[in-house]
Amino acid sequence: MAKLMIRNLDKRFGAFDILKNVNLEIPSGEFVVFVGPSGCGKSTLLRCISGLETVSGGTLQIDGMDVTNVAPSRRGIAMVFQSYALYPHMSVFDNMAYALKIQKLSKEEIDAKVRDAARKLQLESLLDRLPRQLSGGQRQRVAIGRAIVRDPKVFLFDEPLSNLDAALRVQTRLEIATLKQSLPDTTMIYVTHDQVEAMTLADRIVVLNAGRIEQVGKPLELYERPASLFVAGFIGSPKMNLLTGKHAAGFAATTIGVRPEQLTVATSGNGWAGTVLRTEHLGSESYVYVDIGLEEPMIARLPGTAAFEHGDAVVLQASEQVILRFDAKGARIDP
Ligand code: ATP
């Protein structure tokens, strides 16, 4: 059981402050996902936790033990990378057994641990293959298996699915969700750019912005009640529509936000009047882009196939309860 405590963590590379006073507590068995724009420090925070990077200030504790200056191999942490990093000349079995052989476990113990992990990851029929005889998704499962056999207290994933194609990503995401259920006491931290992975895998999401934690919360909490304009704009795809100036003035806010699925598109009535720029048909839903005179078009997400075309005059409508309001500093104003 591993509770992870990060206190006042700073990381500098030369003159650059990359992580600034990060404080985070992760209870045992929790699945936490780090998200944020490129370069915000997600991987650096993960690498500081693993010990691959030293910290410039602050402390890290696992189960009450200070591990700030403990070597990576002695932290009880395993890390899975997007590049898999398998040994090409070794079979799947030997790749998974490697760390256990170094630990000088008995042949029987190694065999039991590798087969147990292989069963959890549906790799049993592939144990004799070499990495080059596997698909990308299977290789990533071997990389995960190699980490599982070591019984880590904390599991770190750095964008593990980003090299896979769309269908394999979905499949492997579901496998990671199943894995999480079969290892209920293992704390997992996962870095991703993918909104769906973050929303579906996370017990809690940590949103990082320029080296600081912007908000921590359950996925739907962040989606429905973002604390700031930054989180509102970052969580959700397509992005939340943000309106300023005269569009927000009637709501006693500097900026207001409406999710694309909360907009309806009418041909007359009250609302934000504009002109359709284009409609994207995704099959099950359509995105209608409407110019209402803001810098960026508004996006309405409609179920099914919408019949709006370039040049149509439309009115966008949303019920007042779903509109989020933000003050001049970007903090959400509670209604
Ligand atoms: P991405 O989503 O693009 O992977 P990230 O949020 O994981 O980004 P990091 O890789 O943690 O971001 O990098 C954070 C910042 O630290 C970046 O500005 C990066 O250029 C810088 N950085 C990372 N590693 C080093 C290093 N070894 N030396 C100097 N600067 C570094």
Of 88, 322, 301, the closest CA to residue 225 belongs to 322
Per-residue model confidence (pLDDT) at position 27? 95
Quick one: the chain helix, strand, coil %, rounded to 5?
Answer: 30, 30, 40
Domains of the chain: 4-231 (3.40.50.300), 240-333 (2.40.50.140)
How many whole angstroms from its chain centre is CA 190?
Answer: 6
Cβ of 192 below 6 Å from ligand 1 = no
Cβ of 38 below 6 Å from ligand 1 = yes
Compute the distance from residue 54 Cα to the ligand 1 centre, in Å.
14
Per-residue model confidence (pLDDT) at position 246? 87
Per-residue model confidence (pLDDT) at position 2? 60
Compute the distance from residue 44 Cα to the ligand 1 centre, in Å.
6
Cβ of 39 below 6 Å from ligand 1 = yes
Alpha carbons 21 and 103: distance in angstroms, whole number: 36
pLDDT < 50 positions in the chain: none
What is the predicted ipTM?
Answer: 0.96
Q: Mutate which of 35, 38, 43 to test ligand 1's pocket (most atoms within 8 Å of Cβ)?
A: 43
Q: Which helix (H) or strand (E) holds 170?
A: helix 166-182
Per-residue model confidence (pLDDT) at position 166? 84
Compute the distance from residue 51 Cα to the ligand 1 centre, in Å.
16
Per-residue model confidence (pLDDT) at position 214? 96
Per-residue model confidence (pLDDT) at position 252? 86
Cβ of 254 below 6 Å from ligand 1 = no
202 contacts: CB under 8 Å, gap ≥ 6: 31, 32, 33, 190, 218, 219
Q: Which protein residue's CA is at the shortest distance from atom 16 of ligand 1?
A: 18
Residues comprising the chain, all counted:
335
Q: Which helix (H) or strand (E) holds 157?
A: strand 154-158
Q: What is the DSSP string of 199-263?
A: HHH-SEEEEEETTEEEEEE-HHHHHHS-SBHHHHHHSSSSPPEEEETHHHHTTTSSEEEE-GGG-
Per-residue model confidence (pLDDT) at position 151? 87
Looking at residue 246, its amino acid is K
Of 82, 62, 48, 57, the closest CA to residue 1 belongs to 62
Compute the distance from residue 3 Cα to the ligand 1 centre, in Å.
26
Q: Give the distance between the most distant pair of CA atoms in the chain.
A: 76
Cβ of 87 below 6 Å from ligand 1 = no
Give me 132's structure tokens: 């080059």
Per-residue model confidence (pLDDT) at position 229? 96
Per-residue model confidence (pLDDT) at position 245? 87
pTM of structure: 0.91
Alpha carbons 189 and 30: distance in angstroms, whole number: 8
Give me 89's structure tokens: 């000349």
